[in-house]
Structure 1
Amino acid sequence: MNILVINCGSSSLKFAVFNLGEADIPLWSGLIERIGTHTPLRISWNSGEQREHFEIPPCQHRQAMEWLVDKFDKLGITATLGGVGHRFVHGGETFRQSVLVTPAVLATLQKCLDLAPLHNPANFEGIELTQKVFPHLPQCIVFDTAFHATLPEHAYRYALPKKYYDEHQIRRYGFHGTSHSYIARKARQILQENRFYAQGIVSLHLGNGCSSCAILDGKSVDTSMGFTPLEGLVMGTRAGDIDPGVCLYLAEKCQMTAQEISDLLNRKSGLLGVSGVSNDLRTLLEKEKEGHAPSTLAIHIFAYKAAQSVGKMMVALPHLDALVFTGGIGENSPAMRARIVGHLQCFSLFLDSDANHTHGKATGGFIQSAGAPVKILVIPTLEEWLIAQETVALTSTISIEL
């Protein structure tokens, strides 16, 4: 039985098909971009080692989904599917674990759309569309926030009057939970196979979005993102932690609206805002070589804030056994890993430069220097594979009940 995993964004549709009886590499995967724009859609299609690229006329999510189903039908993929798994960014306090799609679940989900207005509505549309094109398949929803449901109250509550939590559920939720959950499992497995301690782990997910997570015995006990994905580390276009007084100042002195401040902090800040050039770290590293001072500053701020976040996560752990780098930057940038760990030597974290340069591929993912007490790993995250696993687990309960 194959499982289709869908991640529907505001202008994109990411998909992957897994057979969980085989490797954790998808049989087919791809990305449809530029949905809802006036430009042709760009489609990437991967099958094993094959890479194909297509363009189709501008269209909305519904037509993009229909194109995908037609492609599946022609390749005989549809007949092999046994379920569909969806990524959903924010489940609030209601959804603390993965669930099967039912009319009642969809009705409750609609009440969560405002919690992540940049993500939840698109995720919801993806579920509705998939139900229409695959009405015979059971469907599962995996929430980015669910892994952080184990945070203790002192970690998730803000120091605000309780009525704002009671009446508006204003608290820290955390995100990237599917990625951190996968890292929790995989890191524990790798460490135990090598006879290392695996109780206290810090997972550092670095991409265009960035977050850290303190993992104790496989459970999330603290994380850097909060009520929204804006809190925490500096990111590609997000400011990360900022004095709330800055927002008040912008509103009062610059006459900026709430929407304008939101756009500034979410889309115009971070690496892009500081450098004035790009949100792509690779571009900034090249610009740094050219002597572009704003790019150098953006890189330094990014590394410093990431290292600072590791220190914060350590407070939630009795001891640190391992630091794990994941995400596009975490997995692929030796330069950024070196800069971050350079700030953490006071915590006995030291890199092996050769292992770091090759992303730990010859050392089982380990990149710490010989004899270092704290292990450092590079582990590629496989969020879609974890969603597929959750889908199989939940859909199997249907068979048992029947």
Structure 2
Amino acid sequence: MDDPDGEDPREQYEEHVRSAPARRRCVLGERVDGRIPPCRGSLGKRRSTTGLPCSRDHAVPTRTQTAGTCGPSWRRPGVCPLFRPGTSPRPAGGTAPPHRQADTDGAPSRRASRSTCPTWPKRRHRLEDGGGDIGVFPTQADPESRAHSVAGAPCRRTQVHWRCVMRADRSHESRDGHVLVLDAGSSSLHIALFAADGERVADRDASEPPGPGAAAELRNFLSEVPAPAAVGHRIVHSGPHLTGHTLIDTPVRALLEDVADLAPLHVTPALRVVDAARELLPDIPHVACFDTVFHKDLPAQARTYAVPERWRAEYGLRRYGFHGLSYSWALQRTAQALGRPVDNLQVVLVHMGGGCSACAVRNGHSVDTTMGLTPLEGLVMSRRSGSLDPGALLWLQRRHGLSTAELDDTLHRHSGLLGLSGTSGDTRDLVRARAEGDAAAALALATFTLSCRRGIASMAASLDRLDALVFTGEIGEDQPEVREEICSALTVLGVRGGLLVPELEDLMREGLRRIDQAVRSVPVLVVATGEIQQIAAETRRVLGVADRTR
């Protein structure tokens, strides 16, 4: 989506990296005789950071504002710092806020007083008040006059509202253009930070599913790593209006909210994380990286459902396809391993994890895939059913009175391997249980591997030849029994069993292994999952920054 302000994202990104030490001063400018002068911007609006009306009659500053001001938050016009007339910049109690001082390395001084507020985590924060004083404070004085302590002094301010922002003056750490990657799922949040050369600086799997605690988890992570210059978010579904990875602004955020019900397990929690990250890091670009973009050029015959034209036109029924970030990464690694250009490859990629799908790639482009309008269609998955006879669902509603909510919950959370086995959706558990004689586990694995073979064969039908079969995803990289059972029954495609079993540690270190060993068989490769790295690379591309990882 185009920048509504007509500015070059690359220039904004680079300016952010260059000017990190200069930001965080008063949005309204320097004090004059102890008073805050009116804004020098050109937009005659009254804004507040908390949604409350601003009592100061001034214009909102713009990006062309004179030196000495911090400039607006990313993608938001300059915001009113909520400093009301007649109030003091000091907390009631007489103790001034402790100013942030800088050590020689540009980091915040350890000499600065820490907040003793019992209602806020022990985390060093920068706060802006209306006069440009910057200190180490709790997140925000309660607008409803909750009393708490700031720098050891009781604070009962009801007039001044403090806006918390993550510190951004660690410019020596952010000049490299570190990219923060956030990958939120229904029950997990993976956080990673990448340097400009693609090196993973740090990562963390959140202890709680995305929710109210996501901000705290992210805040704790950011307190331990170099400051990021951009954030990349994995968003599973782009909907019909976004066909490329894009900067997140208010219109884009609204479009994502509108399509959340097409992938409720993924998009809804991801948006919670997007909102938390934009609140904590408002002055750097946030980029939405979509799983659907890889499939945006699906041929008409592959993306079209055989339903009336009115359904397709009015309701937007069509195939989108998913796991695109994983496929993008795996395709590049496969081309490197085979020593062939991407645009001269015809391969079937199979992503097997919590969600499972297959994709046919011809000359660098997705031409068919098993997932559809939603990530529920296609292969049997860990807890999702995969494809079902639509008539069966109609029958369940008519004959047994199952509600839409019951069908939704069961098909998304209680089906797949879990529904078949009755015990687990994890193939590792099921392989062990099958070895111990568990018939339900054996049936679950047999149904799963047959579903995968069907998917692979149907994808091969969209190709002229099969140059390689590629496995990725958690099951694909870490379950040799499943790979063997799939490949040993695909001789019709020239794929053979008797696969090598690389050590997982070696695979993670090297990123890829070729595992076929039969003479004149189709190459079979395993690629370590690379969605996180791909998000970092796509984020840099959106910002026009060179990707040094290739």
Fold shared by both chains (TM-score > 0.5): yes
Note the alpha carbon deviations across 1:115-150, whole angstroms, 9 max, x for none: 222222222222121111001111111011111101
Partner of 2:263: 116
1:76 Cα offset (Å): 4.6
Task: Supply the RMSD in Å over aligned alpha carbons.
Answer: 2.2
- Identical counterparts, % of pairs: 36
Which of the residues 183, 190, 202 maps onto 1:28? 202
Question: Is the Cα contact below 8 Å between 1:198 and 1:322 reproduced in 2?
Answer: no
1:377 Cα offset (Å): 0.2
Question: Relative to 1, partners in 2 of residues 1:345 and 1:196: Cα closer, same or farther, differing over 3 Å?
Answer: farther
CA distance in 1, matches of 2:289, 2:337: 24
CA distance in 2, matches of 1:236, 1:314: 24
Which of the residues 346, 357, 380 maps onto 2:528? 380
Partner of 2:194: 18
Question: Relative to 1, partners in 2 of residues 1:205 and 1:27: Cα closer, same or farther, differing over 3 Å?
Answer: same
Partner of 2:425: 279
CA distance in 2, matches of 1:309, 1:108: 31
CA distance in 1, matches of 2:251, 2:512: 45
1:29 Cα offset (Å): 0.7
Are 2:321 and 1:164 equivalent residues in the alignment? no
Are 2:468 and 1:292 equivalent residues in the alignment? no
What amino acid sits opposite 1:72 in the alignment?
Answer: L
Note the alpha carbon deviations across 1:67-105, whole angstroms, 9 max, x for none: 4324422x3522xx1100001111112111100112222
Structure-2-length-normalised TM-score = 0.64
Greater Cα offset, 339-348 or 8-17: 8-17
What amino acid sits opposite 2:190 in the alignment?
Answer: K
Are 2:220 and 1:220 equivalent residues in the alignment? no
Note the alpha carbon deviations across 1:202-260, whole angstroms, 9 max, x for none: 11111121000101111111110011111111111111111111101111222111111
1:12 Cα offset (Å): 3.3
Which of the residues 237, 243, 251 maps onto 2:389? 243
Question: Relative to 1, partners in 2 of residues 1:339 and 1:35: Cα closer, same or farther, differing over 3 Å?
Answer: closer
1:380 Cα offset (Å): 0.7
Which of the residues 387, 406, 412 maps onto 1:266? 412
SS at 2:230 equivalent: strand
What amino acid sits opposite 2:226 in the alignment?
Answer: I
CA distance in 2, matches of 1:364, 1:183: 9
Question: Relative to 1, partners in 2 of residues 1:100 and 1:333: Cα closer, same or farther, differing over 3 Å?
Answer: same
Large movers: runs of 4+ above 6 Å: none
Question: Is the Cα contact below 8 Å between 1:66 and 1:133 reproduced in 2?
Answer: no
Question: Is the Cα contact below 8 Å between 1:197 and 1:321 reproduced in 2?
Answer: no
Partner of 1:390: 538
CA distance in 2, matches of 1:261, 1:366: 41
List aligned pairs for 1:297-336, cutoff 5 A.
Answer: 297-336=443-482
Higher radius of gyration, 1 or 2: 2
What amino acid sits opposite 2:364 in the alignment?
Answer: G
Are 2:338 and 1:191 equivalent residues in the alignment? yes
Are 2:238 and 1:64 equivalent residues in the alignment? no
Question: Relative to 1, partners in 2 of residues 1:242 and 1:370: Cα closer, same or farther, differing over 3 Å?
Answer: same
Partner of 2:233: 86
CA distance in 2, matches of 1:22, 1:262: 39
Question: Relative to 1, partners in 2 of residues 1:280 and 1:363: Cα closer, same or farther, differing over 3 Å?
Answer: closer
Higher relative contact order (CA 8 A, sep 6+): 1
CA distance in 2, matches of 1:215, 1:196: 9
Partner of 1:107: 254
Question: Is the Cα contact below 8 Å between 2:512 and 2:527 reproduced in 1?
Answer: no
Partner of 1:45: none
Question: Relative to 1, partners in 2 of residues 1:325 and 1:252: Cα closer, same or farther, differing over 3 Å?
Answer: same
5+ residue gaps, structure 1, are 37-59
Question: Relative to 1, partners in 2 of residues 1:164 and 1:288: Cα closer, same or farther, differing over 3 Å?
Answer: same
Partner of 1:57: none
5+ residue gaps, structure 2, are 1-176
Partner of 1:51: none
Note the alpha carbon deviations across 1:160-213, whole angstroms, 9 max, x for none: 0011111111111111111111111111121116x9995111111111210001
Are 2:152 and 1:152 equivalent residues in the alignment? no
SS at 1:5 equivalent: strand
What amino acid sits opposite 2:222 in the alignment?
Answer: F
Which structure features the higher share of helix residues? 1
Question: Relative to 1, partners in 2 of residues 1:11 and 1:276: Cα closer, same or farther, differing over 3 Å?
Answer: closer
CA distance in 2, matches of 1:395, 1:12: 27
1:352 Cα offset (Å): 3.9
Question: Is the Cα contact below 8 Å between 2:512 and 2:528 reproduced in 1?
Answer: no
Are 2:226 and 1:77 equivalent residues in the alignment? yes
Question: Is the Cα contact below 8 Å between 1:200 and 1:215 reproduced in 2?
Answer: yes
1:111 Cα offset (Å): 2.0
CA distance in 1, matches of 2:405, 2:526: 37
CA distance in 2, matches of 1:110, 1:348: 45
What amino acid sits opposite 2:293 in the alignment?
Answer: A
Partner of 1:39: none
Question: Relative to 1, partners in 2 of residues 1:99 and 1:196: Cα closer, same or farther, differing over 3 Å?
Answer: closer
CA distance in 1, matches of 2:255, 2:352: 31
